[in-house]
C-alpha cells in the first residue's frame, strides 16, 4: 500500500544557490519544493551591502523566470537575502538592510570556516555596534559555529565555538536573535535547548541520516564531505531526537551546497552536500526511522516561519513512499556536472509530481 504524506509547503532556512551560470541549475531545483529560501551570501565577492543583496536577488529571479518549472511554483518562490558580516560591517549597513524588506538576516562566518569564508569576521566580539543595531531591528544573526584555529581538532570545532564565542555573544547581547546553523553535535543541540526562545537551530538531512563512518569507512567518500563535518553516531542520534521532538527551536535548513563534480572528486575536494532536489524525501526517511513522520510538517514548514516572524505558507506538497533513484548528475555551469548526495542510489520517498 502506498503511503502519502501531505504537509504545508516548506521553506529552506539555509541554502546555497551560488551565482552566475550556477543559478540555472540551483534555482529551479530549490523552487520545486520550497517557497522561501534563505540564500547564503558567501559568493565571490560576498554579499556585504543592501545594494549587493538586491542585485543578487534580481539575478536569482531572472534565473527563475528563465527556468521551465510551472507558473505556480515560480509565483510562490521567495528568495530571502542575507548580509555577510565582516570586520567592516557597520550599523548603517544593518539599517539599510532592514529598509530593503528582502534581507532577513546577517551571516557570521568565522574567517576560514568554510567555502568562501576568507572575508569572515576575525574578532567577533568587536562587532558590538552591529549586534546592537540587529537587536534594535530584530534582525537574526545566523552563525556558522566553528572555531577555526589550526590547533583545534576538526571534530571539536563546534563544541569549542559554543564555549568560547557563542556563550559570550548571547551573554553580551541578550536580545539578539540567533540561529545556530547546521548544528552537528549533541553539545550544540543541548546548548540550544538551554537558551531562551530567541535562540534556534537548523539541521540538515545529512546530519540526521549519516555520521562520520559514512564519510570514512571503506574509503573517503567526497560527496558526504561537508562543513561542519559529520560527527559520531551518538551526535547523529541526538540531532534526530531534537529534530523530531516537536520543539520549535529546531527547523529545516538543508545547507544544500553545489560544487562541480570535478571539484568534489579531487585531491582537495570541496565541502558541501547537494540535496536541493531530494531534501524532503531525505528528511522523510530520517523522521520515519524513528516513527515521527507526524512531526515533519512543523519542522519543515512551521517553526522556521514563526521564528522569522513570517506567516506559514498556504500551499501544500505531497510526499509518496515510493522508491526513487537519485540522478547520477545534473548539468552545471554550462559545461560541467553536479553530483547530488546519494547519486545513483535508491531512496524510499519522493515528492508527488
For the stretch 117-162, pLDDT in tens is 566 677 777 889 999 999 999 999 999 999 988 899 999 999 999 9
Q: Which residue has the higher pLDDT, 248 or 87?
A: 248
- With a CB cutoff of 8 Å and minimum separation 6, the contacts of 171 are none
In contact, 144 and 166? CB cutoff 8 Å: no
Position 119 scores a pLDDT of 67
Residue 167 has pLDDT above 60, yes or no: yes
- With a CB cutoff of 8 Å and minimum separation 6, the contacts of 6 are 316, 317, 318, 319
- Cis omega (within 30 of 0) for bond into 350: no
* Angle at the Cα of 154 from the Cα atoms of 83 and 84, rounded to 5 degrees: 5
Q: Half-sphere exposure of residue 229, counting CA atoms within 13 Å on the CB side?
A: 20
Active-site annotation holder among 132, 163, 255, 294: 255
Q: What is the pLDDT of residues 235-248, one digit of tens each?
A: 999 999 999 999 99
17 is in an annotated binding site: yes
14 is in an annotated binding site: yes
Q: Are strands 350-351 and 346-347 parallel, antiparallel or unpaired?
A: unpaired
88 is in an annotated binding site: no
Position 2 scores a pLDDT of 61
In contact, 276 and 326? CB cutoff 8 Å: no
278 is in an annotated binding site: no
CA distance 145 to 322: 36
Q: Which three cell numbers stand for residue 293?
A: 513522520
Residue 113 has pLDDT above 60, yes or no: no
* 11 catalytic per annotation: no
**In order of start, what are the domains of the chain with their CATH numbers?**
4-351 (3.20.20.140)
18 is in an annotated binding site: yes
Q: What is the pLDDT of residues 172-189, one digit of tens each?
A: 999 999 999 999 999 999
Amino acid at each position: 500500500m502506498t503511503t502519502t504524506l501531505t504537509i504545508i509547503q516548506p521553506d529552506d532556512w539555509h541554502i546555497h544557490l551560488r551565482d552566475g551560470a550556477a543559478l540555472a541549475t540551483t534555482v529551479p531545483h530549490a523552487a520545486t519544493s520550497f517557497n522561501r529560501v534563505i540564500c547564503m551570501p558567501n559568493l565571490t565577492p560576498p554579499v556585504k551591502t543592501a545594494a549587493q543583496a538586491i542585485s543578487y536577488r534580481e539575478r536569482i529571479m531572472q534565473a527563475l523566470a528563465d527556468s521551465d518549472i510551472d507558473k505556480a511554483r515560480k509565483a510562490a518562490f521567495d528568495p530571502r537575502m542575507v548580509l555577510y558580516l565582516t570586520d567592516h560591517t557597520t550599523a548603517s549597513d544593518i539599517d539599510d538592510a532592514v529598509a530593503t524588506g528582502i534581507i532577513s538576516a546577517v551571516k557570521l562566518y568565522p574567517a576560514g570556516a568554510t567555502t568562501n569564508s576568507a572575508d569572515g569576521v576575525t574578532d567577533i566580539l568587536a562587532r558590538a555596534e552591529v549586534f546592537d543595531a540587529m537587536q534594535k531591528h530584530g534582525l537574526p544573526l545566523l552563525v556558522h559555529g566553528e572555531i577555526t584555529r589550526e590547533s583545534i581538532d576538526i571534530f571539536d570545532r563546534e563544541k569549542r565555538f559554543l564555549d568560547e564565542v557563542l556563550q559570550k555573544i548571547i551573554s553580551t547581547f541578550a536580545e539578539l536573535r540567533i540561529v545556530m546553523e547546521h548544528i552537528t553535535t549533541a553539545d550544540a543541540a543541548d546548548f540550544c535547548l538551554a537558551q531562551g526562545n530567541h535562540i534556534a537551530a537548523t539541521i540538515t538531512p545529512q546530519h540526521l541520516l549519516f555520521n562520520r563512518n559514512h564519510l570514512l569507512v571503506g574509503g573517503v567518500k567526497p560527496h558526504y564531505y561537508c562543513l561542519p563535518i559529520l560527527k559520531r553516531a551518538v551526535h547523529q542520534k541526538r540531532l534526530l531526537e531534537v529534530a523530531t521532538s516537536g520543539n520549535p527551536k529546531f527547523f529545516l535548513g538543508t545547507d544544500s551546497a553545489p560544487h562541480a563534480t570535478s571539484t568534489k572528486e579531487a585531491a582537495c575536494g570541496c565541502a558541501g552536500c547537494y540535496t536541493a532536489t531530494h531534501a524532503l524525501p531525505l528528511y522523510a526517511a530520517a523522521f520515519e526511522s524513528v516513527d515521527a513522520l507526524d512531526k515533519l510538517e512543523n519542522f519543515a514548514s512551521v517553526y522556521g516561519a514563526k521564528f522569522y516572524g513570517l506567516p506559514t505558507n498556504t500551499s501544500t506538497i505531497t510526499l509518496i513512499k515510493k522508491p526513487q533513484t537519485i540522478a547520477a548528475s545534473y548539468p552545471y555551469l554550462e559545461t560541467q556536472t553536479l553530483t547530488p548526495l546519494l547519486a545513483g542510489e535508491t531512496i524510499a520517498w519522493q515528492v508527488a509530481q
